[in-house]
A and B are shown apart, each in its own frame.
Chain A
């Protein structure tokens, strides 16, 4: 490498002027259209993350995962652990969306929406704020320690750490109501686990966005490794148009390419702009997170030298080979259909979610009991879950068990809004009706909503023979 550097380059003067120009172009690079798009994504996503816990809805935190009470509040919706299937459903939708967008346009997720990218963007921004642009940062890193260096580095660390801690506090604010939490934080009166998770999440943010950065994508991210399985020749990926760019070499400023030379002036701005440090001109590489910084960088150079933009651009492999580009293809259609039906199903399930639920557990201590009057009794523990935002009074009924009666301490059970009540019920049938075990259903009805009934199956046990239970 040093031998190459010592190469007596005939274009040394041109190279030097190009290098000087790099800084200017580099400064403008952050203003490209993809950089704007990413800045938008960063602000929207981080804004959402930091603002959401403070949003109120019906007098309480709009989004709160109340782990101690095992209730998830999502605006007007209260989810219980019984609704966990909705979450797994949502995860399936998320995974399929990832497949869909990857097949369509490569790693859109990585470049714009991944928390790793989004937080790194903010940390890099703070770094630029305190240490200047890349060459200033490099100079600072190589300079001996001085008061000025200490001040710059110290300010950066202070910014990073406070932001990371703020991130950790916000994260815990999703699980422990953030308004009282911040009050307790001021009085340094947070619980052990609250404090622990604040530091844990804060530290993870600080380490990942401040130090690990692209190494997470390169070494640790599983998606980076298998995303190529979703690619085909019709996937839009960030590519260098080799046919147009090669052979590369310097041009005179403002002049078209010399004869026999491609449009790439080898300014290496695309390499400098790359957060993962690769050269896009070597083709698609797994380190590429598709942030499109190289497109912005190259477009600005093409603009300067008077060539059309798009030497580095979103293109399909087929398109680069001169074949027709077909974005709509069976793979995309199949992903879209599955995704569409999952989304519709999810919306339907959410809209038609039963406002109450029922769990039935047999009493494990006794199989059955024979009462003095000859009836057979089984005991169950029943959990009535009122997911609705209004209180309801419920009644229980046995289905599929002839002449069965349900006896409990309170015949009609009133359950407040979003509460769970556990009650013990005794189901009795006349003696001699039944031998052995039998499955039946226990139905839960709200007195004010007779149209809605939830049932849960249970097992009723009776003696095999009348004489010898």
Chain B
């Protein structure tokens, strides 16, 4: 009796879930690849944001340039170089952390513990 009612309840819930009708992309489960890609991109993104903040707060790219012998304080327009270096730095960090994260994901999912 109670089981019967639960089955009805489940049916109603199933009906309801279908009647909610979320946009098609929302209810689908991600494939393993999409999940790995999403997770690694996102965690490496967060890490590279922090890295960029930390590294460029400690080191001024223009001072690094002048330390390497480049006379970069000449024109004020050169200041515009900074945002470009920050941006490039961010993407380089993201690339490296992404490679590390995907390798980690790959190795953990294919290691002896998994099989």
Contacts and interface: CB of A to CB of B under 8 A. Distances in A.
Interface of A: 1, 4-5, 7, 9-11, 15, 18-19, 22, 67-70, 81, 84, 87-88, 127, 134-135, 137-139, 141-142, 175, 191-193, 196-197, 211, 213-216, 219-222, 247-249, 266-269, 271-272, 277, 279
Contact of A68 (B11, B16, B82): B82
A22 B15 CA distance: 12
Contact of B19 (A135, A193, A219, A221): A135
Interface residues of B, number: 44
Given A67-B82, A135-B19, A4 B11 contact: yes
A74 to B, nearest CB: 15
Contact of B58 (A11, A22, A67, A81): A81
B13 A70 contact: no
B20 interface: yes
Which of B22, B38, B42, B84: most chain A Cβ within 10 A? B22
Given A19-B19, A266-B8, 14 more contacts: A1-B14, A4-B10, A7-B8, A81-B57, A84-B54, A87-B57, A141-B21, A141-B24, A193-B84, A211-B23, A219-B39, A222-B43, A268-B16, A277-B22
B21 A139 contact: yes
B17 A266 contact: no
Interface of B: 2, 5-17, 19-27, 30, 34-35, 38-39, 42-43, 46, 53-54, 56-58, 60, 79-80, 82-84, 86-87
A67 B38 contact: no
Contacts of A213: 26
A191 B80 contact: yes
12 contacts: A7-B11, A9-B11, A68-B80, A69-B79, A127-B23, A139-B21, A193-B84, A211-B25, A248-B9, A266-B9, A271-B17, A277-B27
Given A7-B8, A11-B8, A134 B20 contact: yes
B9 A272 contact: no
A409 B90 CA distance: 39
B8 to A, nearest CB: 5
A214 B38 CA distance: 13
B35 A137 contact: no
B21 A81 contact: no
